[in-house]
Structure 1
Amino acid sequence: MARGAAIQAAIRVWGASTYRDASPEEIFTAGVNTLLADYETGLRAQGSTLVKDTPTWEDFRRQAAAVLAECALSLRGGGRGRGGAQSPAVSAAVPIPHHGVQMTELLRAGDLLKELTVRLLRGAVAGSQDPLGLMTEAVLALDRAVAAGEQRMARSYDVLLSDRIEWADLAYRRRIARDIHDHVGNGASLVHRHLELYDVLHSQDAATAHHKVTQARGVVTELLESIRRLVSDMRVQLPSARVGEAVKCFVESMDLLETSVDLQIEGDERWIPDEVGSEVFMVIRECLRNAFKHAHASRVTVRIEASRDDVRVEVQDDGRGFDTTSPKDGHGLASMAERVDALGGELAVLSRPGVGTRVQMSVPLMEALYEQAG
């Protein structure tokens, strides 16, 4: 808001004859509602999910109003300051994490609020005896209030993220239990049945008995492969060398003869927290298994791009592809989507029969937020 708008807001409250007697705090307070309206308009122009519905916006509007109340208090007393104390209004503005709201959106919203508030402050202090001192005190209060709010939101979001990861791990363990029952348990029962039939038939029908033993051997081979896959699935600990090294170790453990894997890493993987890296690795591993087992790809490219803000991954193969509108259970797409969603990220699967498959995912990170809010 420009200086003229702040003056007009003050005049509407007190009238032109009394405006010159209004304090910087009163002038600033008179413009708060207009500022909040501009704030909402600016967020909508950004396409922010903070204004996607009324309850979400009302929560964040209250937090913005608390920050503005802190700025107003800083203007009281002629810029003498309050020693960095935090007002009850800001202390009471407890942020609520909303599903679908990314931390990058919260940071952009904070920047927009600062920009609008500074404009209003300029108009409020323009006619004071010490505009520079007042402005300095108010901007410091603004920075403290916004940083405190972002830090609390970061912590709340961290708790929410941990809960989602825990839920995804529980769902994953249940899937492992189902796989053990369906594949290992049923396979072992089938082997046992073939051997029982061999005991019955070996003295009466040697050819049929021999066939039962051959069938049992085939089931054992499939059973060993299932056990190997399940054991690999349960090795969820991410190596200390991060996601890229974990992918290398997995590819080496597969002893591939007909498929080559090209791993490309950009950025610094140290930005990726261990709990996020573990989930990202398991999604990549599922993509690679699909490429090896279902797509029969001859070449797979894995690109990992890590930054302070997010980690982006693309896994592309030249395999047989599939119809994404009717995915097969074996592709594990639901499990992959659950993991990425639990991290607050996005997953896209692009494929057509005969043209290969490309999986893209993007997961937001928290490191930059903690540095700025702390």
Structure 2
Amino acid sequence: MRTGRDADAARSTDTTGILDEVLSAFTRALRQQGNQLISRPEVAEQLAGQVASVLDDVAAQLRLPDTFRITLTGEARLPSVEIGAQRAEHGIHPVESLRAAITLFEVGLPIISREFAPTDSISATRISKLFHEAIMARVAVGSLSYVTFLMTKLQESRQEERRRIARELHDRVLHGMSLTLHRLDLNRHYAEHDQARARANLDSAVEYLGEAVRTVQQLSAELRRCVGEEGLASALREYLKVTTPPSVRVSLRITGDAKALPPDTTEELYLILREAVRNALRHAAPRRLDVTVNAAATEVRAVVSDDGRGFDSSGPYRAGGGLPSMRERALLLRGRLSVVSEPGRGTRVEVRVPLMKSGL
């Protein structure tokens, strides 16, 4: 065991070796766990930077020589706040970061304890505490930026939804009411001397008015943002009843105990499914629409599928149609959203949300 100045000198010259050893053990453990973080090259580079930064903090707190400092470049230089936002964009939940943090502590502590050579139990405890605090400080900042990023995106999607509803009211409802008034005026004009035209204009007025009423009903259903005490099945059934035209065969099948789902999961899941149904009816012109929800003990899985016109799911359409907000809502629930579609072959939207077990 090295002591005194000789130990400090050895520590300053062995910095790269410590980092390489910790990083090697860390990445090997993540691969064995199947952690998502290690599967992306840019994220792996960020991990290296985070490990180096953690060791740097510990060295600074232990007042080791400045030569211990590690120079970071590229992705490794990103602060935790930017890393959290990037992981949100890539669909990597903070739980994966927390698991990685626990792994780093488990594999890294024996190495740095050996290299920093504490002389007593108090010194060993201090090194352990500093190492743990440096790791968790980065997890906390990254998780906060992750949530902030998603909440900002959700707020943007809500604003876009309001603008869309305003356009619907103006373009469909107001336009339909204007046409209705115009047809009623023509009906009054032709009522005395041209009964056939009067009748035709009255029929058109009824048609335009009926379309406006249906649009208002649909918008009212879309504005419903709360499942409430009636439960997910009732909310979905009512939405499908109001929004699905008679020409579309629709089915709703729910298995498992959906009423036992956590309230936040139920609400967000309803909004995801509602958006998927709206997209299908608005853009796909389907003849059939199927909605299924399976609430199991550890996961809830829901699918909205149609036999409509479909689209290239790898193309630019993926950025539209409410898909980003659906994906972000799924991520907030630690879930996954997948969209499979081909032109002329329909669309399948699937969301999987893990359920937390009770207890520790």
Kindly indicate whether structure 1 or structure 2 has the higher relative contact order, using CA contacts under 8 Å at least 6 residues apart.
Answer: 1
Return the alpha-carbon distance in structure 2 between the equivalents of residues 333 and 265 of structure 1. 33
1:67 to 51, 54, 68: 54
**Aligned pair 1:107/2:98, yes or no?**
yes
Pick aligned residue for 1:143 from 132, 136, 152 = 132
Q: What's the CA shift for 1:70?
A: 4.4
Would you say the 8 A contact 1:74–1:137 is kept in 2?
Answer: no
With over 3 angstroms needed to count, the CA separation of the structure-2 counterparts of 1:141 and 1:265, relative to structure 1, is: farther
Unpaired stretches in structure 2, ≥5 consecutive residues? 65-78
Secondary structure of 1:48's counterpart equals helix
Distance 1:246 1:111, change over 3 A: same
Which residue number in structure 2 is paired with residue 322 of structure 1? Answer: 309
Answering whether residue 231 of structure 2 is matched by residue 248 of structure 1, we say no
**Equivalent-residue separation in structure 2 for 1:164 and 1:198 (angstroms):** 49
Match of 1:339 in 2: 325
Do structure 1's residue 33 and structure 2's residue 19 form an aligned pair? no
> What amino acid is aligned across from residue 95 of structure 1 in structure 2?
V
Is 1:118 the equivalent of 2:101? no
Post-superposition Cα deviations, 1:184-233, rounded to whole Å, max 9, x if no partner, equal 01111111121122122222321121011111111212111111001111
Change over 3 Å in CA distance of 1:24–1:201 after alignment to 2:
farther
Would the alpha carbon gap of residues 259 and 343 (structure 1) be closer, same or farther in structure 2, given more than 3 Å must change?
closer
- In the TM superposition, 1:278-289 aligns within 5 A as 278-289=267-278
Counterparts of residues 200-279 of structure 1 (less than 5 Å): 200-239=189-228, 245-252=231-238, 254-255=240-241, 259-264=250-255, 269-270=261-262, 274=264, 278-279=267-268
SS in 2 for 1:359: strand
Give the aligned partner of residue 75 of structure 2. none
Q: How far 1:335 moved relative to its partner? A: 3.1
Deviation by residue 1:135-186 (Cα, 9 ceiling, x = unmatched): 3332233223322322232222222222111111111111111111121011
Query: SS in structure 1 opposite 2:224?
Result: coil
Q: Distance in 1 between matches of 2:254 and 2:8?
A: 59
Q: Which amino acid is 2:349 matched to?
A: V
Give a deviation string over 1:106-139, Cα, whole Å, max 9, x none. Answer: 224423432442242243256x643x55433322
Q: Distance in 1 between matches of 2:354 and 2:322?
A: 16
Q: Which amino acid aligns with 1:250?
A: L
Q: Structure 1 residues 119, 239: closer, same or farther in 2, change over 3 A?
A: same
Is the Cα contact below 8 Å between 2:289 and 2:307 reproduced in 1?
Answer: no
Gap change, CA 1:200 and 1:352, over 3 Å in 2: same
Q: Which runs of 5+ in 1 are unaligned?
A: 1-6, 8-18, 78-92
Gap change, CA 1:332 and 1:285, over 3 Å in 2 = farther
Deviates more, 1:98-107 or 1:341-350: 341-350
- Contact 1:201 / 1:208 at 8 angstroms: preserved in 2? yes
1:337 counterpart letter in structure 2:
L
Report matched runs for 1:107-186 at 5 Å.
107-124=98-115, 129-130=119-120, 133-186=122-175
Q: 2:351 aligned to 343, 353, 361, which one? A: 361
Task: Give the secondary structure class of the aligned counterpart of 1:347.
Answer: strand
Q: Determine helix, strand or coil for the equivalent of 2:288.
A: coil
Residues 54 and 134, structure 2, Cα contact 8 Å, conserved in 1? yes
CA distance in structure 1 between the aligned counterparts of 2:296 and 2:22, rounded to whole angstroms: 33
* Paired residue total: 320
CA distance in 1, matches of 2:16, 2:155: 41
Kindly indicate whether the alpha-carbon contact (under 8 Å) linking 2:273 and 2:304 is maintained by their aligned counterparts in 1: no
RMSD, aligned CA:
4.4
Distance 1:120 1:204 in 2: 99
2:309 match: secondary structure = coil
The answer (yes or no) to whether the contact 1:264–1:303 under 8 Å persists in 2 is: yes
SS in 1 for 2:81: coil
